[in-house]
Amino acid sequence: MAFVPMDQREGWIWYNGEMVPWGEAKVHVLTHGLHYASSVFEGQRAYGGEVFKLREHTDRLIASGRTLDFEIPYSADEIDDACRAVLQKNELVDAYMRPVAWRGSETLSVPARDNKVHLAIAAWVWPSYFSTEDRLKGIRLCWAPWKRPSPETIPCKAKAAGLYMICTLSKHGAMDKGYADALMLDYRGYVAEATGANVFFVKGKEITTPTPDCFLDGITRRTLIGLARSKGYSIVERHIKPEELGNFDECFLTGTAAEVTPVSEVGEFSFTPGEACRTLVEAYMQEVQPKRQAAE
């Protein structure tokens, strides 16, 4: 498939209550969200024509906006309906969806409470974050040069645009070195997350994952924890020192984009995707695609 820039694609985007042609969904260059990162968003997937855990994503979007001191001018029901309308208008069944809310361009200064809050929702076909081949053999991660900041310095519970700046920098650095992604530590030196996904480590029937006290507690992360318990695994949430990684046998990432992706390497540590990874990849895909599974 030929590469098409995001601003040159065809289709429809829900923009402030109306469906507009893809190329006409624009903001002004002096919008507050661009200059001061007063923007929040969601990443969610539709499987078989339905957005997985749509209301959870919508609730988090609204909560993220409130954390950044603005109110999205649509109810949760209206946002859910708009997401479904975007899928229908674009005739999409399996798709990635991006709702985004931001402060507009009425003023351009640090205070912006009088700026209009906008909401747009787009959807497009986007396969798994990592290729099928990479998923089966496990992806390679290096250590990120940037750390997740203290929750006293950032609104870490919001899915806010500004928090991803160091993720982009870390991802670029990893790709330049031939890695698929980077694993970030937090401000204390504990293992935190990848640039856009949570991380889990496996030893036997015990799965250990970092405590999300300074980074996002992902919706996919919580889903996976429930699925793992249903498959007989125990879950331990705690602070993990990087030198502990040598004690684990398997490792995987979770996220809307990544879904469940096994990891074969983190810096100097190696892992072999095995029973736990296979079990949880399959369990997650069954969870998100129940209608398709039933039809087949």
Contact between 283 and 223 under an 8 Å Cβ cutoff? The reply is: no
Please report, for the domain that includes residue 269, its CATH number: 3.20.10.10
Tens of pLDDT along 36-62? 999 999 999 999 999 999 999 999 999
Mean pLDDT of the chain: 94
| C-alpha–C-alpha distance, residues 104 and 272, integer Å | 48
Which among 124, 152, 182 is the end of a domain? Answer: 124
Q: Same structural domain for residues 43 and 165?
A: no
Same domain, 144 and 79: no
3-state helix, strand, coil in the chain (%, to 5): 35, 30, 35
pLDDT tens digits along 80-113 = 999 999 999 999 999 999 999 999 999 999 999 9
CA atoms within 13 A on the CB side of 277: 22
Q: Does residue 1 belong to any structural domain of this protein? A: no
Whole-angstrom CA distances from 260 to 26, 217, 242, 252 are 33, 15, 21, 7
pLDDT at 294 over 50: no
User: Are 252 and 149 members of one domain?
Assistant: yes
CA 83 to each of CA 122, 131, 139, 291: distance values in angstroms, whole numbers, following the listed order:
8, 26, 32, 19
Domain termination residue (choose one: 124, 155, 181): 124
Residues 24 and 103 in one domain: yes
Express each pLDDT in 13-28 by its tens digit: 999 999 999 999 999 9
- pLDDT at residue 179 greater than cutoff 50: yes
Q: Which domain holds residue 54?
A: 10-124
Rg (C-alpha) for the chain, rounded Å, is: 19
- pLDDT for res 295: 41
Each residue's pLDDT tens digit, 113-143: 999 999 999 999 987 655 555 567 899 999 9
Which pLDDT belongs to residue 267? 97
Active site residues: 159
